[in-house]
Structure 1
Amino acid sequence: MLTLLGAKSAAASAARGGYFLFHWPLLAAIAFALSGCMPATTSVATADPADPAAKASHVGYRSTVAPYTSLRPATPAPWQDRNDAVTPQPKQDR
């Protein structure tokens, strides 16, 4: 892939009649090589989280299933009584 890119760059430079000063694959390789010279870590402004002696706030326990109520099926009741219990009451005529 890089060879093809270099060939295209060389062909474009030859077509323009001049020598192309920068070769992009070469610049990419130099940038990649120089990136290895960067420091691996930066200084931490606060306490290091990897330090076992670092102080941390206490965590309170909250159960995730505390408000649970069983949703087992209710005992069957006559459907007419259940429908009458949830239907809105008829309005009085004025």
Structure 2
Amino acid sequence: MLTLSGAKSAAAFAVGGRHFLFNWPLLALAALALSGCMPATTQIASADPADPAAKVAPVGYHSTIAPYTSLRPATPAPWRGRNDAVTPQPKQDR
């Protein structure tokens, strides 16, 4: 691939009056290759991880089922009252 890119670049330079177009895959490959040589700029922690006196974030516990309340055993409601509560109201004559 690099040989083909070099040939395209040479052909583009050989043509007089035309502007050279960037070869974006070659530019991306060069950036990727150079990024491996860059030092890491962020530090995770300045303290030694093996230090038992190092400050750490507090640990907290939050229950995932905290709002749950048990409904069993529940006394059954009379079926007649429950049935009447969900039946449609009779239509009144106009």
Q: TM-score range, shorter-chain basis?
A: 0.3 to 0.5
Normalised by the length of structure 1, the TM-score is 0.43
| Higher relative contact order structure (alpha carbons within 8 Å, sequence separation ≥ 6) | 1
